[in-house]
């Protein structure tokens, strides 16, 4: 957790292919007289993924989808406060570039697509060069283009002790509804194309706000439900292995006791050991989600990155 006085920001290394060359987007800031990467501070109650996408759109005119995270930089500001910036790789598709509405402003006077080598020479700050170096490592390892399996824990539900109906029919509390809305806004930054939920009402209600944002249907299945898990008839392997084989970003909304199985199956499909980072990803609070990134080129070559978000706490 960052200190209250820390300024938190989010940004991207926006990239595209030009022939067989990877090019990245730099922004020229007139008000600061520097060249850097698209980024900006979080707004009130905004999650990191939301801020990264919003700031990129505002500064470059490009609507991007987040790929795998590239880590963060931390440095002191002239005011004496610390600033931490979280970065993701984000591919600018041909459609995004064609529909870009960049307008020069006092803050960002121009943008420039350059090679990775040129970016290292042009960037004003060594901390940005470090992010470009991490990005270049992804290019070299052929893990730049990724997809994600996102494990979402349902929002806070009415207590079982105060519910007289079947456990699977327990609804979300008001706090759970707010958690679902916050998670939806954050997960939308990754633009999943498939939404899968446990058949439990609390899970379906949690993923519905995301379905509304994306205009997608939700597929409900007992295979990742808590009832099936407790009865020993769940089939997490089938659901996860199919999503990995599809190589498209998907969300699985499930329950606390089922999440470790989901994360274990993702790790097994990727050929990665289930270490501390993945154990943390499987121990989510209500409304939290974990994003496990895999390589489109070879999903079995190991997990590229893992991130965990608590958007309701932003």
Q: What is the pLDDT of residues 126-141, one digit of tens each?
A: 999 999 999 999 999 9
DSSP H or E segment with residue 15? strand 7-18
SS3 149: strand
Q: How large is the average pLDDT for residues 245-270?
A: 98
| pLDDT over threshold 90, residue 279 | yes
Burial (CB count within 10 angstroms: exposed 0-12, middle 13-18, buried 19+), residue 31: exposed
Q: Which residue, among 51, 89, 44, has the nearest Cα to 309 in the 3D structure? A: 51
Do 173 and 236 fall into the same domain? yes
Q: How large is the average pLDDT for residues 8-20?
A: 96
Instruction: Give the C-alpha separation, 208 to 197, whole Å.
Output: 10
CA 29 to chain centroid, in Å, comes to 27
Which residue range forms the structural domain that includes residue 226?
146-313
pLDDT at 312: 87
Do 151 and 297 fall into the same domain? yes
- Domain count within the chain: 2
Do 150 and 136 fall into the same domain? no
Do 105 and 216 fall into the same domain? no
Do 114 and 192 fall into the same domain? no
CB 213 within 8 A of CB 189: no
Question: At 247, which CATH number?
Answer: 3.40.50.1240
Do 241 and 132 fall into the same domain? no
Which pLDDT band, with edges at 50, 70 and 90, does 66 fall under?
A: very high
Structure letter (DSSP) for residue 157: B
Q: Which residue, among 32, 45, 41, has the nearest Cα to 10 in the 3D structure? A: 41
Whether residue 2 is contained in a domain is answered as: no
Do 128 and 202 fall into the same domain? no
pLDDT at 1: 47
Give residue-wise pLDDT tens across range 149-174. Answer: 999 999 999 999 999 999 999 999 99
| pLDDT over threshold 70, residue 177 | yes
CB 38 within 8 A of CB 92: no
């Amino acid at each position: 957790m960052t200190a209250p006085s820390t300024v938190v920001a989010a940004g991207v290394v926006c990239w595209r292919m030009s022939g067989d060359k990877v090019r990245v987007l730099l922004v020229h800031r007139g008000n600061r007289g520097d060249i850097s990467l698209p980024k900006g501070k979080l707004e009130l109650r905004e999650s990191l993924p939301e801020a990264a996408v919003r700031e990129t759109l505002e500064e470059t005119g490009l609507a991007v989808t987040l790929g795998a995270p590239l880590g963060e930089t931390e440095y002191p500001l002239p005011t004496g406060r610390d600033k931490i910036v979280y970065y993701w790789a984000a591919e600018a598709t041909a459609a995004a570039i064609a529909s870009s509405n960049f307008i020069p402003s006092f803050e960002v006077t121009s943008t420039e697509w350059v090679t990775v080598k040129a970016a290292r020479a042009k960037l004003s700050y060594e901390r940005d060069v470090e992010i470009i170096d991490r990005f270049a490592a992804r290019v070299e390892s052929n893990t730049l283009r990724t997809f994600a399996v996102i494990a979402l824990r349902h929002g806070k539900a009415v207590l079982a002790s105060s519910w007289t109906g079947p456990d699977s029919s327990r609804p979300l509390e008001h706090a759970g509804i707010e958690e679902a809305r916050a998670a939806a806004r954050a997960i939308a930054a990754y633009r999943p194309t498939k939404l899968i939920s446990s058949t439990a009402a609390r899970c379906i209600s949690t993923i519905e706000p995301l379905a509304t944002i994306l205009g997608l249907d939700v597929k409900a299945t007992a295979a990742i439900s808590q009832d099936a898990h407790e009865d020993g008839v769940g089939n997490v392997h089938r659901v996860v292995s199919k999503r990995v084989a599809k190589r498209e970003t998907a969300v699985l909304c499930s329950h606390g006791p089922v999440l470790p199985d989901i994360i274990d199956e993702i790790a097994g499909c990727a050929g990665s050991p289930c270490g501390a980072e993945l154990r943390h990803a499987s121990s989510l609070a209500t409304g939290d989600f974990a994003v496990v990134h895999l390589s489109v080129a070879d999903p079995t070559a190991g997990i590229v990155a893992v991130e965990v978000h608590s958007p309701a706490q932003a």
